[in-house]
């Protein structure tokens, strides 16, 4: 079907190894004339390297495998994959992503991906969470992205939720806000860590950390699109209370969107009456809200880049949990 090195060698009147050297081995010894002729013939014949054949000798395909629990279908995937892809491309590797099927069987998915003999395999989660992997899987997975291995056997890259909450809370305080409410995402690791950071920042500022209201955005334990939103009710109650907030911190940009609507219905203006800040930096939403939303951007791309570095490094990296910082994106809602 496609031309092989053999075809090229035949046509050029050289051996296969010379053809291989001309096309791939940059430093192979041969005259420029020979190399040029081989390159030309390769072009004519439309030669394309056969990675499968090469991989037989090398033992692996130039692939980085990514197992994602639901990642591909998430908008967060974009940034993680971009980060991975950029770094992998620099090393002449491709990223091969496989979504965990409905059966959530890591072992099976791992087997599927290993059939392609990737150089290394990462596990990526859509939401920041802890993951328990079967022991056999732990050996094959080199790094966890946006999640943390429960057994502590695998290097993990996670967003620094607590630090981000501290930073954004401090930012609100520096802007003169004193009564901050937090409409948080319940049932998520991220939410729990952010709540800690939120309260810590208040305490650090000499305020009563326990008194600050932290309310769940939805009724269900697991956050999903189906969950019944409590945002509207919470905002109304907060505004009616004896100590109405002058700032609302939101679990994500979608929550912020609902907060905007609720504040508007109550006749409050943003940010004059109530400042709003959030986590996510979902650009579609954050830039189009009126006023544009100040929000903490998740370090997805950084996680992807760092993961690629770990995956491509020759030495197995030390097993530790890297907490990557968010970035404050200032717009006009504070």
Which residues are near DNA by CB under 7 A? 1-2, 4-6, 13-18, 20-21, 23-25, 29-31, 33-34, 47, 49-50, 53-54, 56-58
Compute how many other C-beta atoms are within 10 angstroms of the C-beta atom of residue 110: 22
> What are the two backbone dihedrals, phi and then psi, of residue 148, each rounded to the nearest 5 degrees?
-130, 130
Distance between CA atoms of residues 65 and 111, nearest Å: 11
Smallest distance, DNA to C-beta of residue 30, A: 3
Q: Residue 316, class by beta-carbon neighbours within 10 Å (0-12 exposed, 13-18 middle, 19+ buried)?
A: exposed
Determine the interface stretch with a second copy among 81-89, 205-213, 215-223, 302-310 (rule: CB under 8 A). Answer: 81-89
Nearest to 125 by CA among 153, 151, 157: 157
48 scored as a contact of a second copy (CB under 8 A) = yes
Distance between CA atoms of residues 80 and 124, nearest Å: 9
20 scored as a contact of a second copy (CB under 8 A) = no
Distance between CA atoms of residues 177 and 246, nearest Å: 6
Site string for a second copy, 117-156 (x = CB under 8 A): x------------------x--------------------
Q: What's the DSSP call for residue 314?
A: S
Q: In this structure, are residues 1 and 50 in contact, taking their beta carbons and an 8 Å threshold?
A: no
85 scored as a contact of a second copy (CB under 8 A) = yes
Name the binder of 61 from a second copy, DNA, none, CB < 5-8 A by kind.
Answer: a second copy
Name the binder of 285 from a second copy, DNA, none, CB < 5-8 A by kind.
Answer: a second copy
Compute how many other C-beta atoms are within 10 angstroms of the C-beta atom of residue 314: 4
Name the binder of 13 from a second copy, DNA, none, CB < 5-8 A by kind.
Answer: DNA
Restricted to residues 177-236, the positions that interact with a second copy (CB under 8 A) are 225
Smallest distance, DNA to C-beta of residue 184, A: 50
82 scored as a contact of a second copy (CB under 8 A) = yes
272 scored as a contact of a second copy (CB under 8 A) = no
Smallest distance, a second copy to C-beta of residue 75, A: 5
Distance between CA atoms of residues 136 and 106, nearest Å: 10
Distances (CA, A) of 134 to 24, 100, 143, 172: 40, 14, 15, 43
Distance between CA atoms of residues 139 and 125, nearest Å: 18
Smallest distance, a second copy to C-beta of residue 262, A: 8
114 scored as a contact of a second copy (CB under 8 A) = yes
Name the binder of 25 from a second copy, DNA, none, CB < 5-8 A by kind.
Answer: DNA
Q: In this structure, are residues 17 and 28 in contact, taking their beta carbons and an 8 Å threshold?
A: no
Name the binder of 17 from a second copy, DNA, none, CB < 5-8 A by kind.
Answer: DNA
Our measurement of the distance from residue 292's CA atom to the centroid of its chain's CA atoms, rounded to an integer in Å, reads 23
Smallest distance, DNA to C-beta of residue 234, A: 58
Please count the residues of the chain. Answer: 334
Smallest distance, DNA to C-beta of residue 22, A: 8
Cβ within 8 Å of residue 88, ≥6 positions away = 64, 94, 95, 308, 311, 312
Name the binder of 258 from a second copy, DNA, none, CB < 5-8 A by kind.
Answer: a second copy
Give contact residues for a second copy (rule: CB under 8 A): 1-2, 46, 48-53, 55-56, 59, 61, 72-75, 77-78, 81-82, 85, 89, 94, 96-99, 101, 111-112, 114-117, 136, 225, 254, 257-258, 261, 264, 282-285, 287-290
């Amino acid at each position: 079907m496609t031309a092989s090195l053999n075809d090229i060698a035949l046509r050029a009147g050289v051996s296969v190894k010379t053809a291989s050297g001309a096309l791939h081995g940059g430093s192979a010894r041969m005259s420029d004339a020979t190399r040029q002729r081989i390159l030309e013939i390769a072009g004519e014949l439309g030669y394309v390297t056969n990675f499968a054949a090469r991989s037989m000798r090398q033992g692996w395909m130039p692939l980085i495998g990514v197992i994602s629990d639901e990642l591909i279908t998430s908008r967060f995937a974009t940034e993680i994959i971009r980060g991975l892809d950029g770094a992998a491309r620099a090393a002449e590797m491709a990223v091969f992503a496989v979504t965990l099927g409905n059966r959530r069987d890591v072992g099976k998915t791992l087997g599927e991906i290993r059939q392609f003999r990737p150089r290394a395999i990462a596990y990526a989660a859509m939401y920041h969470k802890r993951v328990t992997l079967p022991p056999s899987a732990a050996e094959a997975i080199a790094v966890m992205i946006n999640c943390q291995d429960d057994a502590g056997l695998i290097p993990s890259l996670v967003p620094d939720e607590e630090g981000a909450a501290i930073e954004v809370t401090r930012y609100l305080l520096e802007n003169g806000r004193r009564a901050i409410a937090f409409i948080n995402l319940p049932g998520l690791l991220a939410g729990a860590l952010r709540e800690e950071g939120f309260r810590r920042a208040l305490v650090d500022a000499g305020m009563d950390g326990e008194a600050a209201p932290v309310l769940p955005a939805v009724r269900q334990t697991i956050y999903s699109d189906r969950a019944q939103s409590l945002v509207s009710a919470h905002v109304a109650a907060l505004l009616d209370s004896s100590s109405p907030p002058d700032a609302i911190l939101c679990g994500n940009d979608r929550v912020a969107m609902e907060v905007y609507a609720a504040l508007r219905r109550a006749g409050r203006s943003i940010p004059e009456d109530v400042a709003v800040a959030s986590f996510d930096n979902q650009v579609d939403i954050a830039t189009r809200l009126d006023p544009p939303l100040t929000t903490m951007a998740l370090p997805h791309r950084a996680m992807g880049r760092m993961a690629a570095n770990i995956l491509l490094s020759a030495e197995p990296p030390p097993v530790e949990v890297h907490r990557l910082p968010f970035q404050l994106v200032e717009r006009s809602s504070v």
